């Protein structure tokens, strides 16, 4: 039976090649706001900020640039995860009609990666930011303002890092990221040869920003390049057991299984990565 199934798969692949048809390409896009072109202040990405509605439009436009790049590269199914704050920022009517949108908070460790599974071929990060404490970075933080550092197996991780590890559980590689120059440099150091689009560069707490339309062109082109070369990317993984070291400004009450390893520092080890991420969420 296995030989027969394999033979059928070979025939299908061969037929697709002969008739010039591409195999289906399913893409997952996680979208944050701090790394959008033009964003420099917390109020820009806060629901109470006077420019928040403007940056919701920019968020949709940069997401659409990634979607259009994915379509140009042959994507047949695209999921978008609204990943900022309460996960209720993207304007559905502004999103490309070929994409499916996942909005709202879901109480699982996947969080910004909710919806990812082994059926996807690639992950794209749009509007991402650098980890807490990164110099010359715009609105750098790791999940919330209480986190000083979060590492697994000695690797200090930005949100892009632990979200990529979640994708790696399902053998899905992150192939593209957009944000400021600091986060682009950071993920290149973590993942190696990943396609990035730096839409701004920080100078202390200010930034030199690309025009939104130019930023969108960079995102589109970067996504096309990434997906056209998808075979060169590998999922980001660390080997179990996974040991978390979390450093925070203000301590929370200990959760069972977590050990206090220093002032404002907590450690937890598990063979289950999602359990580690869950403990991070409870103690941050």
Q: What is the pLDDT of residues 249-284, one digit of tens each?
A: 999 999 999 999 999 999 999 999 999 999 999 999
**pLDDT, position 1:** 45
Q: Give the N- to C-terminal CA distance of the chain in Å, as an integer.
A: 50
> How does residue 197 score in pLDDT terms, banded at 50, 70 and 90?
very high
Paired strand residues for 79? 28, 100
Is residue 253 assigned to a domain? Answer: no
**pLDDT, position 22:** 59
Is residue 190 assigned to a domain? Answer: yes
The residue range of the domain holding 54 is 23-144+157-236
Q: Looking at 84, 96, 129, 141, which residue is catalytic?
A: 141
**pLDDT, position 13:** 41
**pLDDT, position 16:** 40
Give the list of residues 6+ apart from residue 169 with CB closer than 8 angstroms, or none.
273, 274
- pLDDT tens digits, residue range 154-192? 999 999 999 999 999 999 999 999 999 999 999 999 999
Is residue 231 assigned to a domain? Answer: yes
User: Count of domains in the chain?
Assistant: 1
Is residue 89 assigned to a domain? Answer: yes
Is residue 17 assigned to a domain? Answer: no
> Contact 181/200 with Cβ under 8 angstroms?
yes
Mean pLDDT of 210-222: 98
Mean pLDDT of 4-8: 42
Confidence check: pLDDT of 23 > 80:
no
Confidence check: pLDDT of 15 > 80:
no
Mean pLDDT of 66-73: 98
Task: Report the distance separating Cα 181 and Cα 115, nearest Å.
Answer: 28
**pLDDT, position 250:** 97
Confidence check: pLDDT of 6 > 60:
no
Long-range (24+ apart) CB contacts under 8 A made by 77-80 are: 77/24, 77/25, 77/26, 77/27, 78/26, 78/27, 78/28, 78/29, 79/26, 79/27, 79/28, 79/29, 79/115, 79/120, 80/29, 80/31
Instruction: Please confirm, yes or no, whether 141 is among the known catalytic residues.
Output: yes
Confidence check: pLDDT of 78 > 50:
yes
In Å, the largest CA–CA distance within the chain is: 64
> Contact 80/104 with Cβ under 8 angstroms?
no
Task: Report the distance separating Cα 27 and Cα 123, nearest Å.
Answer: 6
- Count other C-beta atoms under 10 Å from residue 5's C-beta: 9
- pLDDT tens digits, residue range 82-128? 999 999 999 999 999 999 999 999 989 999 999 999 999 999 999 99
CATH number where 192 lies: 3.40.50.10780
Is residue 219 assigned to a domain? Answer: yes
Confidence check: pLDDT of 3 > 90:
no
Task: Report the distance separating Cα 100 and Cα 79, nearest Å.
Answer: 5
Is residue 2 assigned to a domain? Answer: no
Paired strand residues for 178? 197
- pLDDT tens digits, residue range 41-52? 999 999 999 999
- pLDDT tens digits, residue range 58-68? 999 999 999 99
Is residue 251 assigned to a domain? Answer: no
* Average pLDDT taken over every residue of the chain: 93
**pLDDT, position 211:** 98
């Amino acid at each position: 039976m296995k030989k027969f199934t394999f033979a059928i798969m070979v025939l299908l692949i061969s037929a697709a090649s002969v008739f010039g048809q591409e195999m289906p390409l399913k893409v997952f896009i996680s979208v944050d706001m701090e790394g959008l072109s033009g964003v420099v202040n917390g109020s820009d990405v806060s629901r109470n900020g006077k420019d928040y509605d403007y940056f919701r439009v920019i968020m949709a436009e940069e997401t659409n640039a990634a979607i259009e790049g994915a379509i140009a590269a042959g994507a047949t199914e695209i999921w978008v995860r609204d990943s900022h704050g309460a996960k209720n920022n993207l304007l559905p009517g502004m999103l490309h009609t070929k994409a499916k949108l996942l909005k709202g908070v879901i109480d699982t460790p996947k969080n910004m990666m909710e919806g990812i599974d082994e059926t996807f071929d690639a992950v794209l990060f749009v509007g991402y930011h650098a980890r807490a404490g990164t110099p010359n970075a715009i609105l750098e933080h790791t999940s919330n303002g209480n986190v000083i550092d979060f590492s697994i197996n000695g690797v200090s991780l930005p949100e892009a890092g632990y979200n990529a590890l979640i994708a790696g559980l399902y053998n899905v590689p992150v192939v593209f990221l957009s944000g400021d120059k600091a986060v682009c440099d950071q993920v290149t150091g973590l993942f190696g040869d990943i396609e990035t689009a730096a839409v701004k560069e920080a100078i202390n707490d200010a930034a030199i920003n690309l025009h939104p339309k130019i930023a969108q062109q960079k995102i589109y082109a970067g996504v096309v390049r990434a997906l056209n070369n998808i075979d060169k990317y590998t999922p980001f993984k660390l080997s179990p057991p996974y040991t978390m070291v979390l450093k925070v400004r203000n301590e929370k009450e200990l959760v069972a299984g977590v050990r206090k390893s220093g002032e404002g520092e907590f450690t937890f080890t598990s063979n289950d990565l999602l359990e580690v991420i869950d403990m991070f969420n409870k103690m941050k």
